[in-house]
Amino acid sequence: MAKNGVRIGIVGGTGYTGVELLRLLAQHPHCELAAITSRKEAGTGVAEMFPNLRGRVALKFSDPDKAGLKNCDLVFFATPNGVAMEQARALVDGGVRIIDIAADFRIQDVAEWETWYGVKHACPELVAEAVYGLPEVNRAKIREARIVANPGCYPTAVQLGMLPLIEAGIVDLDHLIADAKSGVSGAGRKAEVHTLLAEASDNFKAYSVAGHRHHPEITQGLTRAAGRPVNLVFVPHLTPMIRGIHATLYARLTRNSDLQALYEKRYAKEAFVDVMPAGSHPDTRSVRGANFCRVAVHQPRGGDIAVVLSVIDNLVKGASGQAVQNMNIMFGLPETAGLEQLALIP
């Protein structure tokens, strides 16, 4: 680690996870931004594209071939899926550690990954080595990892909400339900008709009910926690807001338990998971721009169905903030370094 802190390269960086990573790293006390690459935007100042960075981030996008990523301690991939797997081998062989904010290393079953992402995996052997970067589950492994697969946004919200129930072994694992609502930034900074303001504003809809890429990722995590396969129905919805995921989770209880105590105990030592008081309804704005997951657990009318409400900012705890949290763990920094900003209300 360099004198100025972790020496960082970013591949990609013209999308939403990229600008969010820049916003967070620009305010991080222990890192040095060495390079950010974009073949298309090479030579453009990042602050020209994202004026919130004016006066604070002097870096220009550079051509990937000239960026000197091999001299970095850590490279973040804030790219579309399929990019990190092409470059990972050379970097890790050169001693550079990697956090992939995209999906290339998230799913251990390479055949399943290939089905969902529609391409052949370029380095299946590195998938086996990669650590799934959910600190609340894998902190020790993340510390030593060369490659961290940063979790998806829905998987973060759903797993953090479901894990206490599953780890406690008190729910029917065959009929788990995750009804998840995401702000539109989750679709990325791509020009597409269905995410235009004129299409998505003042409107609400479900999508991909038949199947979504995050389904196998969530199932993999819950299966690990359960120690046996689980069955999950996952219904994502597009919500007319910019940031935020609200996962409403339903599980049938097979045993009585003090759910509030269970959740408080599970997350007692976690800096970024906030178990709300009994009866709470966390709103997504309470984490807007902040690296928190807020969770509340309910048991409506004393019945046998637990309802968990789990909110994150999809770009922070659901992407770039969690990536910085992983960096902090990997480099022995305080886990909250650079992540202490409070959410904007209103």
**What minimum distance in Å lies between the beta carbon of 251 and a second copy?**
11
Interface characters, 131-170, with a second copy (x: CB under 8 A) = ----------------------------------------
**What minimum distance in Å lies between the beta carbon of 206 and a second copy?**
5
Helix H or strand E segment including 158: helix 153-167
Closer to a second copy by CB, 71 or 204: give it: 204
Site for a second copy in 208-237 (CB under 8 A): 209-211, 231, 233-235, 237
Nearest to 18 by CA among 48, 44, 40, 50: 50
**What minimum distance in Å lies between the beta carbon of 311 and a second copy?**
8
Site for a second copy in 4-33 (CB under 8 A): 16, 19, 23, 26-27
Site for a second copy in 270-309 (CB under 8 A): 274, 276, 279, 281-290, 294, 298, 300-301, 303-305, 307, 309
**DSSP single-letter state for residue 191:** -
**What minimum distance in Å lies between the beta carbon of 238 and a second copy?**
8
**What minimum distance in Å lies between the beta carbon of 296 and a second copy?**
8
Return the amino acid letter for 298.
H
Closer to a second copy by CB, 124 or 240: give it: 240
Closer to a second copy by CB, 314 or 326: give it: 314
Torsion of CA 112, 116, 117, 119, to 10 degrees: 60
Contact 296, 267 (CB under 8 A): no
Torsion of CA 25, 37, 94, 139, to 10 degrees: 30
Closer to a second copy by CB, 111 or 197: give it: 197
**What minimum distance in Å lies between the beta carbon of 236 and a second copy?**
10
Site for a second copy in 233-272 (CB under 8 A): 233-235, 237, 239-244, 246, 248, 250, 252
Tokens for 342, please give them: 């409070």
Count of residues touching a second copy (by CB under 8 A):
87
109 near a second copy, rule: CB under 8 A: no
114-124 per-residue burial string, b: 16 or more CB within 10 A, e: under 16 = eebbeeebbbe
Closer to a second copy by CB, 100 or 313: give it: 313
Q: Measured at the alpha carbon of residue 98, what is the angle toward residues 96 and 104, in degrees to the nearest 5?
A: 140
* 74-78 and 147-149 strand pairing: unpaired
Nearest to 294 by CA among 224, 247, 258: 247
Cis bond before residue 346 (omega within 30° of 0):
yes
Binding segment (CB under 8 A) for a second copy, from list 62-70, 143-151, 207-215, 319-327: 207-215
Active site (catalytic) residues: 153
Q: How far is CA 23 from the centre of its chain?
A: 16
Site for a second copy in 327-346 (CB under 8 A): 340-346
Site for a second copy in 176-205 (CB under 8 A): 177, 179, 181, 183-185, 187, 189-193, 195-205
Closer to a second copy by CB, 3 or 301: give it: 301
14-47 per-residue burial string, b: 16 or more CB within 10 A, e: under 16 = bbbbbbbbbbbbbebebbbbbbbbbeebeeeebb
Site for a second copy in 46-75 (CB under 8 A): 50-56
